[in-house]
Amino acid sequence: SQQGEEDPQALSIQEGENATMNCSYKTSINNLQWYRQNSGRGLVHLILIRSNEREKHSGRLRVTLDTSKKSSSLLITASRAADTASYFCATEPYTGGFKTIFGAGTRLFVKA
Amino acid sequence: ETGVTQTPRHLVMGMTNKKSLKCEQHLGHNAMYWYKQSAKKPLELMFVYSLEERVENNSVPSRFSPECPNSSHLFLHLHTLQPEDSALYLCASSQDRGTEAFFGQGTRLTVV
């Protein structure tokens, strides 16, 4: 089973609306990261939140982490058509090592 | 540009061919990774090289063979591949474990 699972699998919204994506994981983590991928290209790092942090902001992005529920959310405010992409969470297990595990991603489509 | 360069961008090979994928980073990072991204599947970590260790995903078939001659270059040697190996192969680097990863644009591999 996967460590990180995103929800929903796909999301379609109008430009200007907010988009919220969720990630759940199973084991204790050191940190959780969110990445973005435009179709068929490499991933771009968006934000990293450590296990002792609860919320982090970067521009229009807001990430929360609830370690008691083993879940995280990514909020994109005032979405733009250019935000259309797939978004992935990646967890760094507490056991360490190079074992960053990616979820299957949420496909976001922002209609102009 | 993320600072991680992959070549070639596209590759079509027969099942009896031998080819190599190349990845290069000049970010001064200590760790480099190979990931496989298949349609509708999570990103799969294949190999990691760092100053301290080499980590392998034991589920990766031996027809994939990594090589890391120095901290800036990483290769993935391919031989006698199967059609199910067709996927996007992504290289990434990071300063250390659990830190922000920088991805290349990927090599779209098609095995015929």
CA A76 to chain centre: 10
For B20-51, the pLDDT digits (tens) are 999 999 999 999 999 999 987 889 999 999 87
Residue A95 or B80, more confident: B80
Q: Provide, as residue numbers in chain B, all residues whose Cβ is less than 8 Å from the Cβ of A98.
A: 31, 33, 45, 48, 50, 53, 55, 97
Shortest distance between the Cα of A82 and any Cα of chain B, in A, equals 17
In this structure, how many other beta carbons lie within 10 angstroms of the beta carbon of residue A42?
22
Mean pLDDT of B54-74: 90
Asked whether the predicted pLDDT for residue B61 surpasses 90, the reply is: yes
Beta carbons of A98 and B105 less than 8 Å apart: no
The Cα B111–Cα B86 span in angstroms is: 5
If you ran DSSP here, which 8-state letter would residue B84 be given?
A: G
- The residues of A whose Cβ lies within 8 A of any Cβ of B are 2, 4, 30-31, 33, 35, 40-45, 48, 88, 90, 92, 96-105
DSSP string, B65-77: EEEEEETTEEEEE
Asked whether the predicted pLDDT for residue A2 surpasses 60, the reply is: no
Q: For chain B, give the percent of residues with pLDDT over 90.
A: 78
Q: Provide, as residue numbers in chain A, all residues whose Cβ is less than 8 Å from the Cβ of B104.
A: 42
The Cα A100–Cα B73 span in angstroms is: 21
CA A107 to chain centre: 11
* Residue A17: per-residue pLDDT: 98
Cα-based distances in Å from A97 to A27, B67, B81: 14, 20, 29
* Residue A1: per-residue pLDDT: 38
Residues with Cβ within 8 Å of residue A28, at least 6 apart in sequence:
A51, A67, A93, A94
If you ran DSSP here, which 8-state letter would residue B10 be given?
A: E
DSSP string, chain A: --S-EEE-SEEEEETTS-EEEEEE-SS-EEEEEEEEE-TTS-EEEEEEEETT--EEEETTEEEEEETTTTEEEEEE-S--GGG-EEEEEEEEETT-SS--EE---EEEEEE-
| pLDDT band of B101, cuts 50, 70, 90 | very high
Nearest to A12 by CA among A76, A108, A106, A85: A108
Cβ–Cβ under 8 Å, residues A4 and A70: no
Mean pLDDT of B93-111: 92
Residue B84 or B39, more confident: B84
A38-52, A65-79, B48-62, range with the lowest pLDDT: B48-62
For A5-27, the pLDDT digits (tens) are 788 999 999 999 999 999 999 98
Q: For chain A, give the percent of residues with pLDDT over 90.
A: 74
Residue with tokens 């994939």: B64
Shortest distance between the Cα of A69 and any Cα of chain B, in A, equals 21
* Residue A15: per-residue pLDDT: 97
**CB nearest to B90's CB, from A42, A92, A98:** A42
Chain-wide mean pLDDT for chain A? 91
| pLDDT band of B98, cuts 50, 70, 90 | confident
For B14-26, the pLDDT digits (tens) are 999 999 999 999 9
In this structure, how many other beta carbons lie within 10 angstroms of the beta carbon of residue A1?
4
Beta carbons of A42 and B105 less than 8 Å apart: yes
* Residue A96: per-residue pLDDT: 64
Cβ–Cβ under 8 Å, residues A41 and A86: no
Bridge-based pairing state of the strands A61-66 and A10-14: unpaired
Size of interface A-B (CB pairs under 8 A): 67
Residue A82 or B53, more confident: A82
* Residue B22: per-residue pLDDT: 98
| pLDDT band of B111, cuts 50, 70, 90 | very high
Beta carbons of A43 and B105 less than 8 Å apart: no
